[in-house]
Structure 1
Amino acid sequence: MSKNRSIRTSIKSRLVLSYITMLIVPIILTVLVALLAGLYYFSDAQTAYDVKSKIYPFGEIIDERDKLFAAIKLTSIEVPENFQNEIYIKKLEEKLIALNSGIIVRKNDQIVYSSSTVSDFNTKEYLPKFGEYVKSITVPYRNTKIGLILSQQDFYFKDKGKGSVFLATNVEPLKKAFNKFHITVSIFIIMILILTNGTLTLIVARSIIKPLYKLKSAANEIKEGNLDFQITTDSKDEIGEVCIAFEEMRARLKKSINVQLQYEENRKELMTNISHDLKTPITAIKGYIEGIRDGVADTPEKTSKYINTIYTKASDVDKLIDELFLYSKLDLNKFAFNFTKVNVYQYIEDCIEELYFHLLEKNITINHHPISVEPIYVIADVQQLKRVFINVIENAVKYMDKVYGEINIIINQDESSIIVEIKDNGQGIPIDALPYIFDRFYRVDPARNISTGGSGLGLSIAKKIIEQHGGYIRAHSVEGEGTSMVFTLKKYKSGDML
């Protein structure tokens, strides 16, 4: 999982975003639906009001109605007889038609005038009595009931008769429009909520569940012992990070198992090599002992030769066991090193002095090439570093094919390390064998026999020791010209912990 926090979208952020979307989107869609439904249904209601005169928008109907009723109230006070004047009432009625309203004039208990917009309704028995005010009435009409908004103004005619003028507005089209509007909007709100929440839930759930299914599948594969797969994810959230961590775990687990298998293979190979290298001298020892026991060594000279050979073979076995024990401790990081400050020039001179006469007997000269007269110090375990020099030089001696051999120890340095090169003029190492010379029990000579020299652990031990010193060891060789073993040691600096 890129792990870039700047582009990562957390599950928490995604859920918050989805929650906000679930609020905002339904509100916006509901408003749009309400506007469209209002335009549609209230235009139908408007058509119901659309007769021959001016049509007022719904927002103005109530205001116009109130203004007209105020004029009616003023007329009832100042000129009440106008409500018996048909010309005045007709003019008033023309204004009321646009409001889907009508006027009813009552004198005493008799209806003296009823507008055409309300004349079809049987309103007489439903009208309130003189002095009894109600705001609305419901009257029967063609097997249904019609709602009327009612405004009442009571007054007295000049002949002392009780008069009442009613302003009645038919709100049935408006009621029907509101009912249809309410039903439509309610249905659409439910649909919008279901679709919006369902869609967003599905999107968020898929982004979470899909990677979880991958993790479940990967866990099942691992449970079945299959690690040859890869977990991929495009998620940038916490689950994506879990997938990346799971993939890293799978890769490390596979690597660990491969290492364990390699260790097991190496262990089997090690046991085979140990068995082979121990069996050869032991078989020889048994043979010489049987020779002594059976009387084959029938002279003191033969007996002495057999005993010396037995001792030599036993010493080889003892050396092999010691080197094997040392290698095992180095391999398990259980060997205790004693690091000290060492003058590398003086140390190499001491090693050369110790080996000089032994090499001289084999017509091999050894030379040291320092880079300066000033001492250079390194951090090293004196005894184990000596083992490195001996193992490398013994290896050079073993493969020396020149009448006059030569070994040169060349010192170089960089900012933090000393680079030691041990170069010989021996037969060299075949290029196909060069990558394996530091493997345990590997011999360039295919005949695996201790009598050919060495246990096959010398360079492996040298490599382990140098690596524990924080350096590396490499080999360069040209067949027929010789081999260079190069290893590094850390320079000593003031303040270094030993």
Structure 2
Amino acid sequence: MKIRNRITLWITASGLVASLLFSLVVSYEMIEQPYDLLDEELDIQAHTLISGLEPQSGKLQRDLTENTMLSSLTRPYWIKIFNEQQELIYASDMVRFTDLPLDPKRSRYTVSTTMPAKTINLEQDDNDEVAFRVRIFTIPVAGHSYLVQIARPIEKLDEEIFDLLISLLIGLACSAAVMVGLGYYVSGRILKPISAINSLAREITDKTLDKRIPLGKNRDELYELSSSLNHMFDRLQYSFQHQKEFLANASHELKTPIAMQRLFFDEALQLSELPDNFRKQLVQQSRILCRMDRLVKNLLDLSALELQAACDPEELDLVELTATVFTEFEDIIRANNIELSLELPGSAFIRADGEKIKRVLINLIDNAIKYNHPEEGRIECRITTENKGIWLEIYNSGPGMPADQLERVFDQFYRVEKSRSTALGGAGLGLTIVKRIIEMHGGTITMESEAGSWTRVRVFFPTLQTDKKRSDSAPLNA
């Protein structure tokens, strides 16, 4: 789960817990307050009723002349009055419709009972059930104690409390939705600087180690993170630079002893009195030394490209240069019985370093010849122009390569068929140099292949100028 989603969940959960606690407190107060008011009302009504009655002959009797309000007062209430002997001495009119349980151990409680709505309308539900709030009082009058059980229907109050709870639940659901949106927005704002740092860090590669993450004005945790990453990039840049310099210096220092060794082998092979077996060994060692010499030269070229990531661009006709390089390979192509097909437009101008682009063409054409069928091979070269750039395609028949190795062929010292590459003098640096040169010119290179059948290299160069035309627009074929 992404950090933004986790922060959103934390904010939402925290907000919901706070809202739930607040709602519980509010709902408890809002529910208890009506019951408290109702209990206070029942208390007042019970004492008012008792005060309106006078004891006569040991029993309470109504004095209608002084308590004309009694009938209207007691109509909405369920009332029973008991004397000290637990004898019922008074009951309101509502008692005949239902009987409520008497629980002297509790002074207030709520009970539900069934009362048909057609008998008396107390806003019952569909099952004719109605809830009563019951109060129990012991009231002394004229030296006697009387037990008063008084109740009032609260069906309407229960419905209002139920509606209140539903409203609270809906409010919680709405607040949860709001908090999810707000939490997602806030988490995005919090993580935005981190996303920017991540984006900038992703852009910094081994070729752009000079870039740094801008430090913010606030010296907060993000400032410290950016500073730490910049220090890490400083150390990486220092290490990469020294590694490249070491490779360049080591390769340069190896050139002189290798040249002296080659000179020694060339002079030794000129001697006529050498035994045949020793001569064969010298020839074999000379070939190994030549391979080492090519490897050192490639390392020097690669180091130069890495340390001097610049070129000397000029206006260059890629079509003319490609045709010239193929002309130089004409004898080798004919000697290997390879059929060549060139599809070149009149011209295709780019701004590039001519020597470096020629190095690219030589390497690609050399690979197309080396890794081709030994008999009846085929090479095709095509240049096409587009609005955004120029495409160079070189196709060759041959063993091809597996699809899972296509991306790795541009890695340093990587060879698909190590035994064959060694026999052909390959060291696994040619395509690395080619890719580096093309990237220096703002282009791209990709490779396609079908194992056991063919290989195609596609190079893209951005177009900078295309107004010049070649006079010889006909395709070249060899």
Under TM normalisation by the shorter chain, which class is it? 0.3 to 0.5
TM-score when normalising by structure 2:
0.43
Give the number of the structure whose alpha-carbon radius of gyration is greater: 1
TM-score when normalising by structure 1:
0.42
